[in-house]
A and B are shown apart, each in its own frame.
Chain A
Amino acid sequence: MPKDELKAGYKLIGTRPNRPDGLDKVTGRARYGADFSVPNMLWAAVVRSPHAHAKILKIDASKALALPGVKAVVTRADLPTGLSGEDLNLQDNTLAGDVALYDGHAVAAVAATSALIAQDAARLIEVEYEVLPHVIDVDDAMRMDAPVVQEGAADHTVPEGSPPNVARCLDFGHGDVEAGFAEADLVMENTYRTEATHQGYIEPHACVGQLGEDGKGEMWVCTQGHWYIRRMSAAVLGIEAAQLRVTPSEIGGGFGGKTTIFSEPIALALSRKAGGRPVKLVMSRAEVLRATGPTASASMDVKIGMKKDGTMTAASAVFRMQGGAFVGMSPVGEALSCAFACYNIPAIHHEGYEVLANRPKAAAYRAPGSPMAAFAVESLVDEMCRALGLDPIEVRLKNGAREGTKASYGPKYKQIGLVETLEAARAHPNYQVKLGPNQGRGVASGFWFNHGGETSVSVALGEDGTVTVSIGTPDIGGLRASVGLMTAETYGIPYEDVRVNVVETGALGVNEPTHGSRATFANGKALVEAANQTIKEMCKRAAKKWGIEPEAVEWADGAARPAGDNAGKFPPMTIGEIAAGMGASGGPIAGHHEVTMGGAGASFGTHVVDVEVDPETGRTTILRYLVVQDAGRAIHPAYVEGQYQGGAAQGIGWALNEEYVYGKDGRLQNPVFLDYRVPVASDLPMIDTVIVEVPNPGHPYGVRGVGETGITPPLPAVANAVAAATGARIRHLPLSPPKVLAAMKASRDG
């Protein structure tokens, strides 16, 4: 039974205590990736391709190796051969083989006794290239005559005669789409485009790697998932996973971009070649933007049929998405599955193309694929609402997915909160504010599946009755506070009596990264199991002392208590008393739980944004912004609100100004934050939030993941608001001032 029915009894869940990592972070004591140093350490620098696509003819490192202080140079020749599938892709991306596939692709690396010597040495490594034709744009990459990024990349889903860069085709749906369109009063179809954006985390990738000739190694690294770092690095280097011990640092943002490896194996390879000396590798911002992350760019056709009353009769989507030069990174499958997830539509057809381009290997970015899909679908829904004179929230309520709805991507929804978010948005004061000239309001909803995944946690009692929790997922958004609250609630002890540690790969079973909005959900569910093992054990110890049956003891408020016929016969025995005597009463008390977790409930959200567009410059100002999202149960509401606000901020950036800009030469032109324009604090108003709580039946405290859904609605919400303010519908993000100005002019000129 979900504990939700006991909500009134919660003492700690839903409160807002200080985060345990807060003091270290605000005082600068917290150790991030680049803060870690060890004695005898070397520094790495990486040589990167200045070409979008080029054959590597020769690498001459002799001048670099002659420089005093240089201890090792590695190229692809230092990595094992014979890999296949994703392992080979990871290896190819770590260090280019015969061909550099994008501007910034690592080609060689050097380790030296100082960072400056390493940088000087990197400049002395001579690489001879033969430049090949390249392709950057997703629609260009779909052409039959496009330069071929990787031969033989297509899998079995790609029909003969397809464009050469198509690596995978998808086709799924349900119902009779043509009949649905025939039934509609209005059928509209448009093409929408989004540009590649980067996760934009503050902290660049950084690690210290050490690997001896005996194949034993260690790594300290900024990552969202150190078991992934271990598995992937071991595969790329041809070493045994168990011999590599990986410890995560504090993390300054990841947003999906730190769920994989980029240059971590380079540090280990350099160390191995430099006699086992540890090697530190810290990326510059330009390296981060050129060679890590970003997400896909997309070109999307959407068609929807609607009756005059707003009832949706059918929908279809054809999505083309490039995820860089390697297969498997385009989130086109997720995008299609999310496209119509908010709606109950009788007939839907999805068609998708994963296409390769000469760009960096894409990584996950907060609800991968869903923001692009939402931009296309929620823009078109808005256009149709305007065409039919319907209220956008009413239309979403009319067609919105509910408990029991068969999701557009297959399964039947359990309890979900879309309708509740729409109702809360409609009732919010922001939705009533009267708008002035050049102002407009936009509404959009969004969805993310959420994920459970491989999870392993342990809990252990200290001799004083305090509790240590070991988790294997780095804390990005307040995880330790949330896990601490759930632990303290479960035991009935103070929050301050719990310490939650993110531990290294040697201390737990395999954990997936902090991804898929899973960490609070999965760790919470697992730790309740683990804590209950120790509670059962503590009841047993108390029963033994009292001389009664263990079943006759119950646990409440941090103490074992005689129950049933024995109630009141003995005074409660506290966790502190049991822990103090545990050595004599049977030994240490600890619990653990390992599982591949199911039951992650989907999270839906609805956003309302008001903008003002300057008719002279085309610049958009966000006047007010509202996020309403279902959290299932907000364990620590401040961090739930933080996730909502962060998702909105990133989505607004994607909508307004962020984009990868390439020159004709295929090189990235804006690899610094001055030109890659994430919103700064003064660009945004305070983001208003409403936490809707429709408990997830798959979690003991009703938790749903909240990290990702929030980046999904902003793209269409902002575009819908700009259309409302200007009368100009822009179907290609970002809505940068010149684009808005041109669209306004075109709309005026008719």
Chain B
Amino acid sequence: MRYHTPSTFEDAARVSAGAGGVTRFLAGGTDVLVQLRAGLVTPDDLIDIKHIPGVRDIQRTAEGGWRIGVAVPGIALGRHAELSADWPGVVEGMELVGSTQVQGRATLTGNLCNGSPAADGVPGLVAASAMVTVVGPEGTREVAVADIPTGPGKTSLKKGELIAAITLPPRGKNGGDAYLRFIPRTEMDIAVVGCAVSLTVEGDRIASARVALGAVAPTVVLVPEAASAIEGSTLDEAALERLAAAGSRSTTSGAPSLSAPKSRGCWPSAPPA
């Protein structure tokens, strides 16, 4: 195994593009190192991106949004008062990932790139219309978070590509977001279903909404029908029922089965043979 510590994203992309075998990027390591120790993935090239300047920064963008570095741990999101005030749903989704110890290491970008449909950090990003900056051999591009995961454990990132930052749009006035999940236990569990909602209000009515569901399809899904079920409403009982019905219709597999860990994309759980 070769261990690399590039100092720019371009260098990191170059190492990855030139590598022949299994490559993994290392930020918090809460997925990569666990998979490595469980014998599930043994990278030939392990590319540690924590040495790149700025990866631990949370910055206000010129437009008034936020740019979150790829090595910012979950705990730093929660401690950032302004970010938490703007995007509480994004922050609380990430804060549900793992234990306190894991929170000290795990990153939002890692949660996204691990490709789990049950990732708690992702629905909030999708509902928030978050973008990521992708650096690769063919240059840099901006991609919607919703377009990164393509299936359990899979992403749309091409060989040599990696994410350099996550960008949240300006929150604007009269907006808010939230994330809730259902788990059989109270802690230390994987979402059976996760739901993020981001919306804006005008007076007592919902002006616009985005609803994202996790763990019910091969990727986190945006459910426009659920959003239109509440847009224009005062979130009365009828609107909530329409919202729930739209959510139920959107799942590809119907009610997820708690008794089939693999079917809900929970990994790593395959034992080494």
Contacts and interface: CB of A to CB of B under 8 A. Distances in A.
B259 interface: yes
Interface residues of B, number: 24
Nearest to A284: B38
B185 A738 contact: no
Contacts of B18: none
Contact of B271 (A671, A674, A736): A671
A617 B182 contact: yes
Interface string B20-59: 0000000000000000001100000000000000000000
B229 to A, nearest CB: 18
Interface in B181-227: 182, 184-190, 192
B186 A286 contact: no
A619 interface: yes
Interface string B232-273: 000000000000000000000001011111100010110111
Given A674-B190, A674-B266, A675-B266, A661 B185 contact: no
A737 interface: yes
Given A617-B182, A683-B186, A670 B258 contact: no
B258 A682 contact: no
Contact of A663 (B39, B262, B273): B262
Contacts of B39: 119, 123
A286 B261 contact: no
A675 B261 contact: yes
Contacts of A168: none
A248 B189 CA distance: 34
Contacts of A736: 184, 258-259
A393 to B, nearest CB: 30
B21 to A, nearest CB: 15
B255 A657 contact: no
Nearest to B192: A737
A738 B262 contact: no
Given A284-B38, A286-B272, A674-B269, A669 B261 contact: yes
Interface string A671-685: 111110101111100
A721 B55 CA distance: 51
A659 B189 CA distance: 15
Given A48-B273, A669-B269, A683 B261 contact: no
A286 B189 contact: no
A738 B182 contact: no
Contact of B273 (A50, A659, A674): A50
The dominant DSSP class at the A interface is: loop
A661 B184 contact: no
A670 B38 contact: no
Nearest to A663: B262
Given A677-B184, A680-B188, A682-B187, A738 B258 contact: yes
Would you call the interface of chain B mostly helix, strand, loop, or mixed?
Answer: loop
A290 interface: yes
A286 B182 contact: no
Contacts of A674: 188-190, 266, 269
Given A119-B39, A657-B184, A669-B262, A738 B273 contact: no
Contact of A286 (B38, B184, B192, B259): B38
Contacts of A672: 268-269
A659 B38 contact: no
A620 to B, nearest CB: 9
A363 to B, nearest CB: 19
Contact of B185 (A123, A287, A668, A679): A679
Given A284-B38, A290-B271, A671-B269, A738 B255 contact: yes
B187 A680 contact: yes
Given A680-B187, A737-B184, A661 B261 contact: yes
A450 B190 CA distance: 39
Contacts of A123: 39
Interface in A589-634: 617, 619
Contacts of B272: 286
B269 A675 contact: yes
A290 B272 CA distance: 11
B160 to A, nearest CB: 28
A148 to B, nearest CB: 25
Nearest to A51: B273
Contacts of A682: 185-187
B271 A286 contact: yes
Contacts of A661: 259-261
Interface string A43-67: 0000010100000000000000000
A579 B260 CA distance: 66
A672 B271 CA distance: 9
B186 A680 contact: yes
Given A736-B258, A738-B255, A670 B269 contact: yes
Contacts of B271: 104, 286-287, 290, 668, 671
A738 B38 CA distance: 30
Contacts of A104: 271
Contacts of A287: 271
A737 B260 CA distance: 13
* Chain B CB within 10 A, most for which of A119, A284, A675, A679: A675
Given A286-B271, A661-B259, A677 B266 contact: no
B259 A677 contact: no
A287 B258 CA distance: 22
Of A661, A669, A683, A737, the most chain B CB neighbours within 10 A belong to A669
A104 B271 CA distance: 9
A284 B262 CA distance: 20
A683 B185 contact: yes
A50 B272 CA distance: 9
Interface in A489-515: none
B58 to A, nearest CB: 29
B188 A659 contact: no
Contacts of A673: 188
Interface in A26-52: 48, 50
Nearest to A657: B184
A659 B260 CA distance: 11
Nearest to B99: A680
Contacts of A284: 38
Given A286-B38, A617-B182, A682-B187, A670 B273 contact: no
A329 to B, nearest CB: 22
A16 B56 CA distance: 49
B265 to A, nearest CB: 12
A290 B270 CA distance: 11
B185 A677 contact: yes
A619 B182 CA distance: 9
A107 to B, nearest CB: 10
Interface in A200-249: none
Contacts of B261: 661, 669-670, 675
B50 to A, nearest CB: 24
A290 B259 CA distance: 17
Interface in A450-509: none
Contacts of A677: 184-185, 189
A657 B188 CA distance: 14
A681 B272 CA distance: 29
Contacts of B189: 674, 677, 680
A12 B3 CA distance: 60
8 contacts: A123-B39, A661-B259, A668-B271, A680-B188, A681-B187, A682-B186, A683-B186, A738-B259
Interface of A: 48, 50, 104, 119, 123, 284, 286-287, 290, 617, 619, 656-657, 659, 661, 663, 668-675, 677, 679-683, 736-738
Interface of B: 38-39, 182, 184-190, 192, 255, 257-262, 266, 268-269, 271-273
Chain A to chain B: the 6 pairs with minimum beta-carbon distance, closest first: A286-B271, A675-B261, A50-B273, A682-B186, A682-B187, A671-B271
Given A683-B187, A737-B182, A737-B184, 18 more contacts: A48-B273, A286-B271, A286-B272, A290-B271, A617-B182, A656-B184, A661-B260, A669-B260, A671-B271, A672-B268, A673-B188, A674-B189, A674-B190, A675-B269, A677-B189, A683-B185, A738-B255, A738-B258
